[in-house]
Structure 1
């Protein structure tokens, strides 16, 4: 009886309205559309609005389609108040709350909430001008991480991880930022740097409780292999799903009551540094992670539209996932990770993505449009594709991903070739610390 009910639930055609900040969720829109649902996508950022043309129906004003939608999906932070208001009107919404927005956007608030729940955090201090921060480092010599807050944190290349034990490299960077940004930088944090394994845990929340299994992700943030070059936000990730995690129990699990109070629906992720001395949370992502959601989708074996519907109605269920590992790498073109309209138009705009063989499984469209069934790069940042692979071992997943990448031709493309290579070392250390 239960199986028939589930089968009928997946076959019901629904209307999904996706409200996107920068068009990041095109892949999700296409996946839900291919599952037989109706999808409309609105993109807030004007230079990004061509993303998705030819792939999915576009909405010029999302508010005029609210009554049409069975499920609304908000793909970024900052919409929390709107999501709560829509829920109060009886709408089914995947998205944040004002509380969950604050966890991500206000670093100090997030750290204070961790402290309230008795979770150990790294020493950090907020600053509103560079000179105060420089004086602080001189008075408290140590290695630090510079972390922009608010809107400035979207410029991932501004995050700086110091390596000098006296903080001399941090002082030099602060002086450079002062010259280039002046008073426009906004507030920022200096956080004490510790050595260990960087790992994030995340789980989906249905408005009342976390849904299992838990996702464990290892991000690769620098532009070049071996963690060289500028910080991009992310170039790819490796991950696995697990029914339990000591890191999750020590961090996110403790937020269940706070999230339920506001009716949060979606994914919450916390990035941590872990070592033999413990688990040190760094920052929250209270929305889909990018590219995390696309690599997760490679490991989720149930229709993603149906999974989102079950979350939005508050159903308690287990997500069906693959055993083993998933990996994914962004394929990008100039000027990524920077914004330079002239370079983008010169090197990348309307570049065609060519497939040697017409195989598109594990190929996730990012900032693309479709004309005459050809995939063309659009937007303004140069993120073309996310390519994923799965396998019972990390090497199997990497092999699948690399084979798929080798089937693709994009002019001027670059990508990380080492996504997942750290796993053997990370596994040994996490296992020895009892964190797996």
Structure 2
């Protein structure tokens, strides 16, 4: 059981899309006062009935003991509030840029003497196609800026000459014209995809650190469109050669910048080395909820300690944690008509009592019933933990079988890759 905390505090959450509802809800359940503001209009209903919602977060700055920004893009205001003496969890202009400007992220990696995969930024499809024709190879298309939120546009090529990437670029040109914005072509490297994540208290990283394996495709065995995320497996560790070779090298830069929050670096690793791909300088979703399933202390206390720059050891469960999203149509696409037809206000039904390990995502609560709202169709995240990956999976899938959501779908293989990935990582000396 989670420990009950000793003192109640006032938490103000400033959310871009309402993604942090589960964290907000758990801090509320610990006996704190919580207010939630959601910026995105179509997501405004998320959280109704769960927590107290506000329409102008700025009015509650003085009221709050701590302010938590759950997304990138708030770096400037977060830094201003910190320097005025507020306890704040959230990015800085520098860490926002690490995530949102891929080129800047890559150049900062190089500046910190970390090797990166060759990549090139383009503003037109024509130039990119010409480049591939002159430099045939396997490439990945990565949208930059705001377009990178549309995860289904990321394309990982498999053709040695880059012919599949050329075909996709031509298709994007037809459908997007000049509205696509900048994008990168990155050389594709084979290996294990792995994320290294840690909390930072304004001065240094807090241990243990978190090792995450994301499952991004819609269907089992990595088939279908990229969704951003369908589920994740993870474990906590006090040391990692990948962490030492990547994030740890940013410790003094982040300290100078007075960054307080969570940062993650996604890498491809193989027998030749560690290749960082991109930063997430905020909570990861669903990463933060699965982390919560592995943290043995109240989340409210945990965030207060980080924001007040305490150095402490995170009290975590041994073993593994896994989580899988249950989603509904039109996920992973935006289609208001389909959402309203199939999914809006659909009820999340529990066969047996007990919502243990079921984390509310884009939901509202009416008469204690969980109803789907928002517009993207992410209903709940279900987590499990255990001494082995198999134990954690078993717990998660047992919990999923207790949840009924009309038209709901989820991946049945979250965590399966671990047996093969762990063998490779051991043999490369990276675990």
TM-score by length of 2: 0.99
Given the alignment of the two structures, is residue 151 of structure 1 paired with residue 146 of structure 2, yes or no?
yes
Supply the distance in 1 between the matched residues of 2:109 and 2:41 (Cα, whole angstroms): 36
Q: Moved runs in structure 1, 4+ residues, more than 4 A?
A: none
Give, in whole Å, the separation in 2 of the partners of 1:369 and 1:130.
42
Give the corresponding residue for 1:326: 321
Structure 1 partner of 2:158: 163
- Separation in 2 of the partners of 1:196 and 1:251? 17
Q: Does 1:109 align with 2:109?
A: no
Hey, what does 1:62 align to over in structure 2? 57
Partner of 1:308: 303
1:75 to 66, 70, 76: 70
2:229 is equivalent to residue 229 of structure 1? no
**2:429 is aligned with 1:431:** no
Query: Hey, what's the Cα distance between the residues in 2 that align with 1:36 and 1:198?
Result: 39
Q: Are residue 261 (structure 1) and residue 249 (structure 2) matched?
A: no
1:18 — aligned with what? Answer: 13
Aligned to 1:98: 93
Could you tell me which of 178, 194, 204 is aligned with 1:183?
Answer: 178
2:197 paired residue among 202, 205, 224: 202
The residue aligned with 1:368 is 363
**Distance across 2 between alignment mates of 1:137 and 1:82:** 41
Cα distance in 1 between the residues matched to 2:257 and 2:246: 19
TM-fit CA distance, 1:252: 0.1
Q: Following superposition of structure 1 onto structure 2, how do residues 365-404 of structure 1 map, counting pairs within 5 Å?
A: 365-404=360-399
Q: Does 1:239 align with 2:234?
A: yes
Looking at structure 1, the residues matched to 195 and 368 of structure 2 have their Cα atoms a distance apart, in angstroms, of 37
| Count of aligned pairs | 429
State the distance in 2 between where 1:374 and 1:360 align: 12
Deviations 1:67-95 (A, max 9, x none): 00000000000000010010111110000
- Cα distance in structure 2, aligned partners of 1:208 and 1:88: 14
Find the residue that maps to 2:302 and give its secondary structure: helix
User: Cα deviation per residue 1:229-281 (whole Å; 9 max; x = unaligned)?
Assistant: 00000000000000000000000000011111111111110000000000000
- Structure-1 separation of matches of 2:332 and 2:113: 37
The alignment partner of 1:183 has SS state of: coil
Q: Distance in 1 between matches of 2:108 and 2:405?
A: 45
1:141 match: secondary structure? coil
Q: Corresponding residue for 2:414?
A: 419
- Work out the CA distance in 1 between the residues paired with 2:254 and 2:357: 33
RMSD, aligned CA: 0.8
Gaps of 5+ in 1: 1-6
Task: Work out the CA distance in 2 between the residues paired with 1:20 and 1:378.
Answer: 16
